[in-house]
A and B are shown apart, each in its own frame.
Chain A
Amino acid sequence: MKRHPVILVGLTVVATLAAAHMIGCGATRSARSISAEKVYVAPGELDKYYAFLSGGQSGSVFVVGIPSGRLIREIPVFEPRAAYGYAMHETDPRRVLLEETGGLWGDTHHPMLSEKNGVFDGRYLWINDLANGRLARIRLDYFEADRIIKIPNLQGAHGIAVVSPDTKYIVVNGEFEQPTDGLVTNPAPYTSVVAFVDPESMQVKFEVRVNGNIDIADTSKDGRYSFSTVYNLEQGRDMGSMIQYDRDAVAAIDIPAAEKAVAAGKGQARNGVPILDPEENPGVLTLIPVPKNPHGVNVTPDGRYAIAAGKLSPTVTIIDAHTLKIVAEPEVGLGPLHTTFDDRGNAYTSLFLDSQVVKWNIDKAVKGTGDYIVDRINVHYNIGHLQAVGGDTTHPAGDYLLALNKLSKDQYVPVGPDLPENQEIIDISGEKMRMLASFPTPPEPHDATFIAASVLKPIVKQVYTPTDDAVQAGTESVVRTGPHAVAVNMTLIRSAYTPDSFEVKEGDVVTLKVTNVETIRDMIHGFALPDHNLNIALPPGYTKAITFDAGKPGVYWFYCTNFCSALHLEMRGRMLVQPRDSTVTLTDWHAGANVKGQVVPGVPSTGDKQ
Chain B
Amino acid sequence: MKTRTLCLAAAALMAAALALPLWGIAMSAPQYPDETLSLRITRAGIAGDVHEVTTLQHYVGISFPTDLPELRWATWIIVVLTASLVAAAFAGAGAVGRVLRGVCAVTLLAFLLGSAAAVQARLYRVGHQRDPKAPMRALHDFTPPLIGPVRVANFTVWSFPHVGAAFLVAAAALTVAAARRRDDSGGPRSGDRLVRNLGADKAVA
Contacts and interface: CB of A to CB of B under 8 A. Distances in A.
Nearest to A519: B51
Interface residues of A, number: 12
A493 B135 contact: no
Interface string B128-144: 00000001100000000
A359 interface: no
B182 to A, nearest CB: 57
A601 B59 contact: no
A602 interface: yes
A567 B52 contact: no
Nearest to B52: A520
B192 interface: no
A601 B58 CA distance: 10
A567 B56 CA distance: 11
Contacts of A603: 58
A494 interface: yes
A239 interface: no
Contacts of A521: 35
B107 interface: no
Interface in A468-506: 493-494
B190 interface: no
A566 B52 CA distance: 15
A601 B135 contact: no
A520 B27 CA distance: 14
Nearest to A570: B135
A452 B59 CA distance: 40
Nearest to A494: B55
Interface in A502-540: 518-521
Contact of A520 (B35, B58, B135, B136): B35
Q: Give the size category of B's interface with A.
A: 10 to 19
**Most A CB atoms within 10 A — which of B51, B55, B135?**
B55
Given A566-B59, A566-B136, A567-B135, A519 B52 contact: yes
Interface string A152-177: 00000000000000000000000000
Interface string B39-68: 000000000000110111011000000000
Interface string A35-61: 000000000000000000000000000
Interface in B1-36: 32, 35
Nearest to B57: A602
Nearest to B54: A601
Contacts of B52: 519-520
A567 B59 contact: yes
Contacts of B54: 601-602
Nearest to A603: B58
B55 A602 contact: yes
A601 B56 CA distance: 10
A567 B60 CA distance: 12
A520 B37 CA distance: 10
A494 B52 CA distance: 10
A520 B32 CA distance: 9
Contacts of A567: 59, 135
Contacts of A519: 51-52
A177 B136 CA distance: 66
Contacts of A494: 55-56
A493 B59 contact: no
Interface string A421-450: 000000000000000000000000000000
A506 B174 CA distance: 75
Interface in B99-141: 135-136
A457 B54 CA distance: 29
Contacts of B51: 519, 601
A450 B193 CA distance: 76
B36 to A, nearest CB: 12
Contacts of A520: 32, 35, 52
A566 B59 CA distance: 8
18 contacts: A494-B55, A518-B55, A519-B52, A520-B32, A520-B35, A520-B52, A566-B59, A566-B135, A566-B136, A567-B59, A567-B135, A601-B51, A601-B54, A601-B55, A602-B54, A602-B55, A602-B58, A603-B58
Given A565-B59, A566-B59, A601-B54, 20 more contacts: A493-B55, A494-B55, A494-B56, A518-B55, A519-B51, A519-B52, A520-B32, A520-B35, A520-B52, A521-B35, A566-B135, A566-B136, A567-B59, A567-B135, A601-B51, A601-B55, A602-B54, A602-B55, A602-B58, A603-B58
Interface of A: 493-494, 518-521, 565-567, 601-603
